[in-house]
């Protein structure tokens, strides 16, 4: 079976990260692929190190006529069984051809951008319900959750980031964007004595977050790490993962925390609420409620039995349902079901 994948995102968001994860997993499973991507040095390097060579295209706006034309030519030459697009821009450029057209949906997008697709894959059941409620036939909507391919790494040096060895260490990973709620994490830190917060990510609101930390008097306990490619090592170093997103369709950070045996405290956005069993596989706080977020973090710091029970249950959940082999088989079974008869 031949799979052609296309993604137009230029940044380091969850979809872009999982695109790399899935492409590499398909490669490890021996699946034949052609990848069309918007140029990104980090993403391209990760794919190339895994033995894949993406075709870089512009994936521009309405005046970009070259990308759709090139996608059509690539598909004509490659003759895929499946064309899998990621997010609205690539989906809107899906070429015509004798292959099944699929889009992977990771957010609550306007579905008009997916009219060229035959099938849509939602990464949560709630997202699948949204797609169906907005007019898609139920038999062309499919649920396939995310997964992570996890390779443990040794922790990084706390001393290198001026963080005491005995301080409770919180880690937040994600774009520096208002929807990620990192301001809530900083406000929570002000209520947690002696804890430190590492924030891994880049984005436009960095100055706002730095100013907030200064206003709250916690700037000495916050480290802005920038974009990092060593999340395994960061999670191995942290005591608790903090995930305060206001909007989150799934949240790969959940699976990464589970796989790394780092308990997670999250806001009740759609994805975390769907997957985290409060008190068993993580802790959940209302969105924008920094006081409850802080209370849950303090519970994990001081209650070692709760801490260990969440670590054990979360790891079991990851190994049972969200590891790579189970996920790849779901995709392969789905492709077999929808591929064209030739």
Model confidence pLDDT, tens digit, residues 82-103: 999 999 999 999 999 999 999 9
For the chain, which residues make up each domain, given as ranges?
A: 2-147+323-338, 159-321
Contact (CB, 8 A) for 268 and 244: no
What is the percent of the chain where pLDDT is above 70? 99
pLDDT computed for residue 122 by the predictor: 94
Full-model pTM: 0.78
Model confidence pLDDT, tens digit, residues 17-63: 889 999 999 999 999 999 999 999 989 999 999 999 999 999 998 89
Contact (CB, 8 A) for 201 and 178: no
Q: What b/e sequence results for 277-304 when a residue is b if at least 16 CB atoms lie within 10 Å of its CB, and e otherwise?
A: eeeebbbbbebebbebbbbbbbebbeee
For the domain made up of 2-147+323-338, the CATH class stated in words is alpha beta
pLDDT computed for residue 12 by the predictor: 67
**pLDDT above 80: residue 11:** no
**pLDDT above 80: residue 13:** no
pLDDT computed for residue 185 by the predictor: 98
Length of the chain: 342
Domains 2-147+323-338 and 159-321 share a fold: yes
Helix (H, G, I), strand (E, B), or coil: what is residue 102?
Answer: strand
Q: What angle do CA 195, 160, 226 make, to 5 degrees?
A: 80
Domain range 159-321, CATH architecture: 3-Layer(aba) Sandwich (3.40)
């Amino acid at each position: 079976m031949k799979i052609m994948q296309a993604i137009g995102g230029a940044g380091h968001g969850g979809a872009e990260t999982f695109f790399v994860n899935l492409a590499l997993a398909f490669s490890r499973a021996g699946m034949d692929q052609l990848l069309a991507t918007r140029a990104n040095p980090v993403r391209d390097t990760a794919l190339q190190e895994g033995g894949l060579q993406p075709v870089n295209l512009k994936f521009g706006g309405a005046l970009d006529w070259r990308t759709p034309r090139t996608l059509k030519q690539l598909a004509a030459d490659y003759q895929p069984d499946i064309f899998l697009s990621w997010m609205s821009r690539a989906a809107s450029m899906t070429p015509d051809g004798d292959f099944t057209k699929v889009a992977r949906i990771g957010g609550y997008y306007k579905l008009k951008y997916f009219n060229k697709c035959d099938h849509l894959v939602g990464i949560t059941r709630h997202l699948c319900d949204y797609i169906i409620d907005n007019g898609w036939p139920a038999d062309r909507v499919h649920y396939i959750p995310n997964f992570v391919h996890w390779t443990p790494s040794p922790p990084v040096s706390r001393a290198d980031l001026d963080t005491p060895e005995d301080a409770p260490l919180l880690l937040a990973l994600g774009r520096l964007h208002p929807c990620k709620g990192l301001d809530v994490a900083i406000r929570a830190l002000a209520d947690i004595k002696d804890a430190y917060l590492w924030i891994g990510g880049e984005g436009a609101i960095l100055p706002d977050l730095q100013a907030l930390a200064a206003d709250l008097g916690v700037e000495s306990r916050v480290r802005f790490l920038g974009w990092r490619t060593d999340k395994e090592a960061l999670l191995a170093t942290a005591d608790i993962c903090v995930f305060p997103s206001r909007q989150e369709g799934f949240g790969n950070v959940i699976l990464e925390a589970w796989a790394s045996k780092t308990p997670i405290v999250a806001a009740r956005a759609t994805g975390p609420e769907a997957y985290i069993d409060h008190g068993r596989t993580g802790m959940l706080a209302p969105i924008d409620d920094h006081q409850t977020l802080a209370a849950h973090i303090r519970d994990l710091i001081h209650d070692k039995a709760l801490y260990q029970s969440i670590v054990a249950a979360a790891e079991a959940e990851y190994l049972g349902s969200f590891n790579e082999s189970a996920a790849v088989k779901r995709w392969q079974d789905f492709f077999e079901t929808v591929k064209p008869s030739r």
